[in-house]
Amino acid sequence: MIADKFTSATVLFADLVGFTPLTMELAATEIIELLEGLFSHFDSLIAKYGVEKIRTIGDNYMVASGVPVPRPDHAQALAHMALDMSEYIHSRPVYRDKRVDFRIGINSGPLIAGVIGDKKYQYDLWGDTVNTASRMESSGTAGKIQITRATYELIKEEFACEPRGKVTVKGKGELETWYLAGVNPRHRMSTATP
């Protein structure tokens, strides 16, 4: 058994909106082609940002940053990746005359990571941070990246975030959330200046 506790990491969940109706309308090969195209691109972003793909389950994609190797910019790395994911999705909005969109949710905080299994090993994550990230996705809006206060506090200088207000989140009550809107133009200018 391998298990580690991380004091600060960031988790992202992305889910294809309206996937179940698509499975009724498209052939199996078309569904796989759609997911393969999207997830292959997402996988290339994993390499670009040096983050960790945890798993895909159906049309759900889970990524973490700050695990298995801690890094101080874990939230920023996933914010950049989420924006790139969103840009890619919106640049290809139609698949076989069907609108394709994602909900993305992000949360930051402590978590436990480890490898489980006897025959087939799997690296996975546990804890309230993970559950809340999942809830950010499920309570989010199609085409938007919803983040928690914990993530907002880590990225607010570098990224433009729009307050969403309070959202009722299963198992958490009301949480104040934001939409990640882009890179803060002031930050982009300050980092470009020598």
- Give catalytic status of residue 170 as yes or no: yes
The catalytic residue among 92, 96, 99, 170 is 170
Q: Which residues contact 165 (CB under 8 A, 6 or more apart)?
A: 176, 177
pLDDT digits (tens, 9 = 90+) for 61-86: 999 999 999 999 999 999 999 999 99
pLDDT(56) > 80: yes
Q: What is the pTM of this model?
A: 0.91
Please name which of 154, 11, 159 lies closest in space to residue 78, comparing C-alpha atoms. Answer: 11
In angstroms, the CA 155 to CA 137 distance is: 18
Is the separation of the CB atoms in 177 and 136 below 8 Å?
yes
The architecture CATH gives domain 2-145:
2-Layer Sandwich (3.30)
Peptide bond into 93 cis (omega under 30): no
pLDDT of residue 188: 56
- Give catalytic status of residue 120 as yes or no: no
